[in-house]
Structure 1
């Protein structure tokens, strides 16, 4: 049995309890056992964290880019040194199989390495005008950033936001999700040992997103909010932040089309798409949300996909044989089951899965096996809404014009994938898709160096890459009179 004791928040370089003394439990998502109790932050704790970040801002922002980048490289190395411990927490709190969790954990280190490299390249430029005035544009930090991250890829997403925000001189308050609270405090433990990182540059607080997130969004001394989560919650945060005119960077939901062309390598497409659909139980904003298979290859693709999905081993995320663990909570699993029941009621054909696994050894967690629907039509909820679960939704198309119209007929616009041997054809199709990213013969091909973000109701701004660094800066104009 795994147990974590004496868990505290990290504020202004100190380990502290909540001012109220209240705590809440975090659970092993596979067994339901308590992993530990963490502080339940309130308004006083938020005020303290924001004040610490504000106090640290002039100290950190006045350091040179080289000095800040050197600190970020130390953080990256420390994350790598803690690889096994962090991957274990991902499996315990989140349910991602531990052998898979090592990938995003290394990606967390990569977030700091990427930001360290780009942080030394924040160039300004001179704008030509006339002989008497020089106009210079420089990049400067925004100030105090509130970073609110989700439970579905906890360490990778919290490190992404922290790295992108602090490399240019910002300071921050990280509010990680309650479900993964111990992961965020383990990350804080790593930060606490980094030489050269002043107190208050990164503050880590724990508590429910509905209350603590709102306190941060409305706080008058927070300058910027970086948020990853549902579109509905993102809209609430934007509304809460509006009276104080904060900058917002939003990475929100998706219902992502995967378009299978007649000449696609079907074995490759099945392998990659099924992995992205099921390895994290479909709990990813970039998961395939709608499959559009050309009618000429539909039966072949479907049969291959079903056979592949049947081979996925559902079980304990600590077992190296497991391909897919439990969903993150009973509440979330209940919501996924409501979508499955809706699909059946509205007339879709359930081809695989669709029922909770409740017999031992699945009786303590929230396990739903790979689930596949066919005969899905655009008026169905499972077609239009983000399910965030291990549910594949399949339909056919007959022409490129039809599939582009179908793919774009949604209020989301995060990512898409196109599967074909004809790259020129894929690029022409991709230009017509209303998404922030599209991949060819791959899905969700993200890396720390590559910007990621959506359009429409999938978000505002980019995370990752040089563009992600720029999002956490402002432009300042300097005008110099040259006339004597």
Structure 2
């Protein structure tokens, strides 16, 4: 397959002016393509083009903007197989998961059109006759969108579609590890003639250079970013000088709580699925498994058995359940957290190392791992693992486990398995997380609202609330 490596700047597809960067296939460490990063001049040109394009787009009637997004969704669907193939190659994502992600890529686009078609502004009244208060939603202007490597296709349209629906222009920076998905979408956008030149710009490059230039630019009006908490803090600091609005979806350390009345088969199945999707590289993944003492032994036995039978293999194979980690550096981070926990007394129940031997000679392969005898202070229980490692611990009663679940700087997602409605209601009240799932796992739905508490973020994505984040609110006092 030939991969598209041009950036989209001011309506033109062309190489970046920055240095070349190899894009690696994490399954075998081969070089898929070489992409020239953007430099500061590219950033300036993209932002300048967006600044010139957005006002005319904002004046375009909303039904026309919605129709353009629906047509874009159709075009993405026509390229479904190609986009999935790119995901498999650059992320190492199993093909079944890659196909599901492309479904999300399309779904975010069409759903933004639906939201635009049904949104309303507000009219209030004062105590004066012949006077109204209008609360109107106005686009920000130029949106700087920064996405990570773990969902490099779906996160493009998760940011792009609602921003365009709201009447903004977008300069999107793809992650330098996995730029090919975003660049393929850029080519589809450029060839569609659906949007004015310069309305959509797609760049690649490091966050420290290209991302920072976008955030610091006086011509970007809103920053929306998905990534690590450390990167989010850096963006907040860079945006503070201009008091620039920022929306951040950051890291997570989701608790997965199994109550004594839980459906054990369902809990085991979902805990395995939540932990191992995309090789554990998901911000809402099950990162800490808490099991009631009455079920602990049975749960652990079943969980270890299920993990031992997961198929870790070539991500192009439809039978594969887990592919490689995205890079050697990411594998090393997960392994380091595990090794420090084992040194502190944790016990590896299965896995616990890199995979080697036949089929794993090249690539960044990690054995699915279960860890017992953990304490809440150990790295596997306190640091975001972002890999196929499951620490399992025991608890006695709800108040205890709720307090332990909340004892983290993160607050993105939490899972509770119970057949007791009062416990389910307590979970929605007591757990300090932006998303609480009862007897089900993610991924989140397009018509929900994906947002984190604490160091997991500000603002959020998806649904009507997500679209609302791409509008400024303007109050008009109208006397007539």
Shorter-chain TM-score range: over 0.9
Deviates more, 1:421-430 or 1:137-146: 421-430
Aligned to 2:450: 452
Query: Residue 311 of structure 2 contacts residue 319 of structure 2 at CA under 8 Å; is this kept in 1?
Result: yes
- Displacement, 1:428? 2.0
CA distance in 2, matches of 1:384, 1:23: 37
Aligned to 2:27: 30
Corresponding residue SS for 1:356: coil
Query: Residue 427 of structure 2 contacts residue 436 of structure 2 at CA under 8 Å; is this kept in 1?
Result: no
Query: Residue 66 of structure 2 contacts residue 165 of structure 2 at CA under 8 Å; is this kept in 1?
Result: yes
Gap regions ≥5 residues in structure 2: none
Query: Residue 439 of structure 1 contacts residue 445 of structure 1 at CA under 8 Å; is this kept in 2?
Result: no
Aligned to 2:111: 114
TM-score, scaled relative to structure 1 = 0.97
- Displacement, 1:289? 1.1
- Displacement, 1:40? 1.3
Corresponding residue SS for 1:286: coil
For residue 124 of structure 1, the aligned residue among 118, 121, 124 is 121
For residue 84 of structure 1, the aligned residue among 81, 84, 91 is 81
Query: Residue 149 of structure 1 contacts residue 176 of structure 1 at CA under 8 Å; is this kept in 2?
Result: yes
Corresponding residue SS for 2:126: strand
- Is 2:428 aligned against 1:437? no
Aligned to 1:176: 174
CA distance in 1, matches of 2:120, 2:277: 40
Aligned to 2:94: 97
Aligned to 1:56: 53
- Is 2:14 aligned against 1:16? yes
Deviations 1:288-329 (A, max 9, x none): 111110000000011111111011010110111211000000
For the aligned residue pairs, the C-alpha RMSD in angstroms reads: 1.2
For residue 43 of structure 1, the aligned residue among 40, 50, 58 is 40
- Displacement, 1:430? 2.3
- Is 2:267 aligned against 1:253? no
- Displacement, 1:422? 2.0
- Displacement, 1:23? 1.9
CA distance in 2, matches of 1:87, 1:19: 28
Corresponding residue SS for 2:178: helix
User: Aligned residue pairs: how many?
Assistant: 479
Gap regions ≥5 residues in structure 1: none
Query: Residue 418 of structure 1 contacts residue 441 of structure 1 at CA under 8 Å; is this kept in 2?
Result: yes
Query: Residue 3 of structure 1 contacts residue 34 of structure 1 at CA under 8 Å; is this kept in 2?
Result: no
Aligned to 2:404: 406
Query: Residue 415 of structure 1 contacts residue 444 of structure 1 at CA under 8 Å; is this kept in 2?
Result: no
CA distance in 2, matches of 1:447, 1:131: 43
Deviations 1:232-278 (A, max 9, x none): 11000110111111110000001001110111111111111211211
- Displacement, 1:457? 0.6
CA distance in 1, matches of 2:122, 2:182: 38
CA distance in 2, matches of 1:3, 1:78: 19
- Displacement, 1:111? 0.1
Counting only pairs closer than 5 Å after superposition, residues 211-250 of structure 1 correspond to structure 2 as: 211-250=209-248
- Displacement, 1:405? 0.8
Q: 1:424 to 1:78 in 2, by over 3 A?
A: farther
